[in-house]
Amino acid sequence: MEEFRNIGIIGRLNSNKVIETIRRLSRYMVDEGYHVILDDRIAEVMPGHGMQVSNVNLLGEICDLVIVVGGDGSLLGAARALARFNTPVLGINRGRLGFLTDISPDDGMCDAVQAVLDGEYIEERRFLLDAEIKRDGNPIGSAAALNDVVLHPGKSARMIAFDLYIEGQFVYNLRSDGLIVSTPTGSTAYSLSGGGPIMHPRLDALVLVPMFPHTLSSRPIVVDGKSEIKIVVDASQGLYPTVSCDGQSHIPCAPGDSITIRKKSHKLKLIHPKGHNFYEICRTKLGWSSNLGD
């Protein structure tokens, strides 16, 4: 088990509850002798904190562990920034569902974090995606995603026509509201809302989920996680769609543009408390019934 001494903290902005949680957590860790470094954006709204401040990239370089206080969206942003540093990330849930941020901010929070710092944790490796958009063969934009890469109409209400290729092989031409390309991590997010399957986080697979396809036979497709996915926007349609990564990075596209999606070389090192159970999380967050012990 790794030794955690330099602890970075990233928090969701514009939330008094997040600030209160960070104050309580950071005071505890400083009192216990840990070196705490705050993300510079959250430090700006915590005057008088008295701790070292750093930007997120430097946090990745100098920290043994980064704790994210917020919802899954906060952890997604941290994951994209920190994966290349191989820095372990732990989430404290101040959001809604909390599939990734799984420590509760209640009275037992500090004890739960201390248990992790003492080596009582489970480590998972989650892969990310790289999306690159090309126009006339030239790159015009790129972004990374932990959950999903989504082609959608943007502000338009029209269907998108596009060609889909997997590993260079033509799959189909489709008219739909777009396409979700999701990792196993993202399979419980937007992909699930679009009718995609839930995938266990350890799977090396991608799921492609058409959004409201203009056909009765189009269904989600699960492919090898190492597959290269290519989407070519119909050049004759005159529609300017958008590619969104994790719903946070947005790249405008034009007719004829191609979007290439492949697995990123760096993985996220995600830390869970001991006893973490993916199926229990699904039962709790998705309202599955539990007859255990009945």
The domain spanning residue 220 has which CATH number?
2.60.200.30
In a domain, 271, yes or no: no
**Per-residue pLDDT for 1 more than 60?**
yes
Q: Kindly state whether residues 133 and 115 are assigned to the same domain.
A: no
Instruction: Tell me the residue length of the chain.
Output: 294
State both tokens at 184: 């196993």
pLDDT in tens, 187-205: 999 999 999 999 999 999 9
- Give Cβ neighbours of residue 11 (< 8 Å, ≥ 6 apart): 18, 19, 21, 22, 39, 42, 68, 69, 70, 74
**Please, what's the b/e burial string for 3-36 (b: 16 or more CB within 10 A of its CB; e: otherwise)?**
ebebbbbbbbeebeebbebbeebbebbeeeebeb
Are 34 and 40 a contacting pair, CB within 8 Å?
no
**Per-residue pLDDT for 173 more than 70?**
yes
pLDDT in tens, 98-156: 899 989 998 899 999 999 999 999 999 999 999 999 999 999 999 999 999 999 998 88
Name the residue range of residue 249's domain: 128-265
Domain count, the chain: 2
The span from the CA of 78 to the CA of 3, in Å, is 21
Q: Kindly state whether residues 97 and 155 are assigned to the same domain.
A: no
Could you say which of 86, 102, 119 is where a domain stops? 119
pLDDT the model gives residue 146: 98
- The rounded percent of the chain whose pLDDT value lies above 90 is 83
In a domain, 202, yes or no: yes
Q: Kindly state whether residues 140 and 39 are assigned to the same domain.
A: no
Bind-site residues for NAD(+): 72-73, 147-148, 158, 175, 177, 188-193, 248
Greater confidence (275 vs 185) lies with: 185
pLDDT in tens, 33-92: 999 999 999 999 888 888 999 999 999 999 999 999 999 999 999 999 999 999 999 999
Bind-site residues: 72-73, 147-148, 158, 175, 177, 188-193, 248
Catalytic residues: 72
